[in-house]
Amino acid sequence: MPSFEEIMNMPSSEVKPPQAYPVGTYHCLVDGVPEHGKSSQKQTDGYTFKYKILSPYKDVDPMQAAEQQVVGKIIYDTVYVTDPPWRLKEVIDNCGVEGAETNRSLRERLSEVPGKQIYVTLRHENSPDGKRVFHRVHATAKV
């Protein structure tokens, strides 16, 4: 990661928007404790998971994955806590954290997701103005 000074000294012509990762499934590692936050519009509580890419799965274009050097990069996924919090439970379950059928709380189980492996499937989504393409988490699955 370049320093702040290096970034600020970059010629503007070299600054390009990040490219969306190729669509498909990635074998990932949950990198750290998910961060609690709120959505900007409705102030809905949620957790942002950081998934570190270990390897692309066979449904990812190998040429694009190699060109973008996706291994080791981070996929961010914010999971909003709704009523019922089914998506949060699903992600925790897909991380392989035990206790889905017991009285263990979501908070307790969430604390165990760092370092767990998970499959993350990405799809592409256009920005509202149609000028950019982003990758978004479409689904997760157990390894």
CB atoms within 10 A of CB 135: 21
CATH of 26-141, one of 2.60.40, 1.10.3210, 2.40.50, 2.70.40: 2.40.50
The predicted structure's pLDDT at residue 64: 96
How do the domains of the chain map onto residue ranges? Answer: 26-141
Residues 76-87 have pLDDT tens digits of 999 999 889 999
Q: Is the dihedral of CA 69, 72, 74, 79 positive or negative?
A: positive
Q: Can you tell me the mean pLDDT for 120-143?
A: 95
Confidence band of 65 (pLDDT split at 50, 70, 90): very high
- pLDDT over 70 percentage in the chain: 100
Check pLDDT > 80 for residue 100.
no
